[in-house]
A and B are shown apart, each in its own frame.
Chain A
Amino acid sequence: MKILIIEDEKDLVNVMCQYLQKEDFICEFAVNFFEAEDKLISYNYDIAILDINLPDGNGLDLLKLIKTDKPDMGVLIVSAKDSLDDKLKGLDLGADDYITKPFHLAELNSRINSLIRRQKFEGNHTIIFNEIEIDPNAKIVKVNNLPVDLTKKEFFLLLYFITNKNRVLTKESIAEHLWGDSIDLADNFDFIYTHMRNLRKKLKTKGATDYMQTIYGLGYKFGE
């Protein structure tokens, strides 16, 4: 999977690249409009992560270019502007998703993965992690081929963990993923714990190994 990150903040590009490379993505980046145009014409990418505000042009123009030349490329817009107008404009022009700065790297990864699933497998793709099998489209989870009955929140929690396996996920990032950032009750993370506990219990009763680890002071990690 090749990803092109178009973003003028070099620091941000570096950290995004490092994170995504660990997920076995091939990452390239362009720090301005000109460079991005150049790379988009010369090479093929599966996904472009596009910042709308570039020093020498508007990212939306690049989006138009992508959609006319390479309609198969997935586009994820990243913007510091949390404006509905920009979002709608971007999505109208054919962007696949929109994420606002600042974002969690895990959230970015999760969005890219879901984009890839939609794009490459038309959603008919199951994610398999040892004995756990997830069908994101049908929202079915199986452990050792036995279906597990999960609530909506538990399902998304598991999917988020598996997409970002072996990563420390902060409570904040989990809360934002599950409830969106419009809800501001950050002083109470108990409910995450409740969902975690229920999810663990349900997976365990179907015979799954407990892959969830609590990382002291930071959050949770899913992995062997």
Chain B
Amino acid sequence: MKLLQKIRRTYLLYSILIFFISSTFIYYILKNIITKRQDEKLLYDKEIIAQKIKYDYPLPIFDVEDYIAKNQVKDTLYFKDTLMYQVINGVENYELYRQLTSIETLQGKTYRIITRSSQVKNREFVLAISLSVALLILLLVATVYFINIIFAKKVWHPFYKNLDSLKNFSVEKNKPIILEATKIDEFKELNQSLTKLTDKLSSDFNNLKEFTENASHEMQTPLAIMQSKLEFLMQSESLKDNDKQLISSVYSASKRLSKLNKTLLTLSKIENQQYSQKETLIINNVINDQLELFEDFIYAKKISVSNNLSLDAKIDANPMLFDMVISNLIGNAIKHNHKKGNIHITTSDVFLTVSNSGEPLSISSESLFERFKKDSNSSESFGLGLAIVKKVCDIYNWKINHSYSNKQHHFSIYF
């Protein structure tokens, strides 16, 4: 849920709740106050009547019955709401009255004094006041709500704008993040922290890249010396078989090291965008060239290669990078194939798929493209080939994925 939406919803929910509570509250308070006033009035009326009985005794107007006396009721005083039957202008009607019943012993006689007053007017009054107050509250809530929407949008605008910049930020692009200036202190602080963070990130990333490149680079020369000397040593006539074996394994290890080094260097070069120039390449030609290079390997494993190539599919890319991608995909398809397996290559303007028979992976498809991740049963490779492929795909915004079905691996690139 979006922040503004969340705020709006919460606001609305509480407003409605408060609106109902306060309306009811106001209604009851008003009603209470008015009833109280009415009761006081009734009491006052009763008191006047009582006074009259007391001092003007005997009552001139009332003929006093004395059935109450028989009941020997104690003095009481109570209010109640009661409905009275009335006929007003020929219309039968029950009207609500507030009634005070008082039983009092005055001058040795028990009287019941009932005073009542119509509540209809009061009720209408309370309702009218409550309604108008409620309407006022409603209006207030609505106004504040809309002001809130408009204002919140304005206030949060830099936040959303910067969120977008942050989303689009990538250390690999090597561009500093551009944040929208704001007058709000919290956002200002946020911007400062973000700028600091991304700057640090960029500089760390660049240092790391530089380090990788420099380290690999500096290793080339000592490796060259090592290998040359070993090759030189191999020419010696006086070597024993044992020595030869030792030299050979040192040599192989140094070869592996230099290969690893070269691959890492290639990766960091791709990252440093050193292969920037583009050409329009005919995908088919690249694939056929690479297949020719791999001819011996394909033949050695007795792999059958079939393809479904779209003849004029073209792609804009750096020729070296595209060669690397195709070479790694085909190389992989051969390496992780079994004897007498098959490879199938499909191309079109929008995608390229290399499929090959082989055992299922022991690692997940996603981690396959990570550096140094490799299937456990291929110890000789570095696990960098697919990392290179992925890197190139990232640079050109191509999508690559791996799937496994019917004992076939499929690597697809969507341009």
Contacts and interface: CB of A to CB of B under 8 A. Distances in A.
Contact of B220 (A80, A153, A186): A80
B87 interface: no
Interface string A56-83: 0000000000000000000000001111
Contact of A218 (B244, B258, B293, B324): B244
Nearest to B241: A216
A177 B221 CA distance: 20
Interface string B183-221: 000000000000000000000000000000000010011
Nearest to A176: B255
B300 A215 contact: no
B248 A217 contact: yes
Contacts of B299: 191
Nearest to A85: B274
Among B217, B226, B227, B262, the one with the most A-chain Cβ atoms within 10 Å of its Cβ is B227
A186 B245 CA distance: 18
Interface string B362-401: 0000000000000000001100010000000000000000
B341 interface: no
Nearest to A153: B296
Contact of A217 (B225, B228, B241): B241
Interface stretch (B163-171, B327-335, B406-414): B327-335
B3 interface: no
B229 A11 contact: yes
A190 B265 CA distance: 29
Given A81-B217, A215-B244, A194 B300 contact: yes
B225 A9 contact: yes
Among B241, B255, B296, the one with the most A-chain Cβ atoms within 10 Å of its Cβ is B296
- Specify the main secondary structure of chain B where it touches its partner: helix
Interface residues of A, number: 46
Nearest to A185: B297
Contacts of B265: 82
Given A81-B217, A172-B255, A182 B327 contact: yes
A168 B259 contact: no
Interface string A68-102: 00000000000011111100000000000000111
B223 interface: yes
A11 B252 contact: no
Interface stretch (A13-21, A111-119, A128-136): A13-21
A167 B220 contact: no
B253 to A, nearest CB: 11
B300 A102 contact: no
Contact of A184 (B221, B226, B385): B385
A191 B297 contact: yes
B294 interface: yes
A187 interface: yes
A181 interface: yes
A12 B231 contact: no
Interface string A167-209: 1101011000001111111111011001100000000000000
15 contacts: A11-B229, A15-B232, A80-B221, A82-B262, A82-B266, A84-B274, A84-B320, A102-B223, A103-B228, A167-B235, A180-B293, A181-B262, A182-B327, A217-B244, A218-B234
Given A102-B227, A180-B293, 7 more contacts: A102-B223, A103-B227, A153-B296, A184-B381, A185-B331, A215-B244, A217-B241
Interface of A: 9, 11-12, 15-16, 18-19, 22, 80-85, 100-106, 153, 167-168, 170, 172-173, 179-188, 190-191, 194-195, 215-219
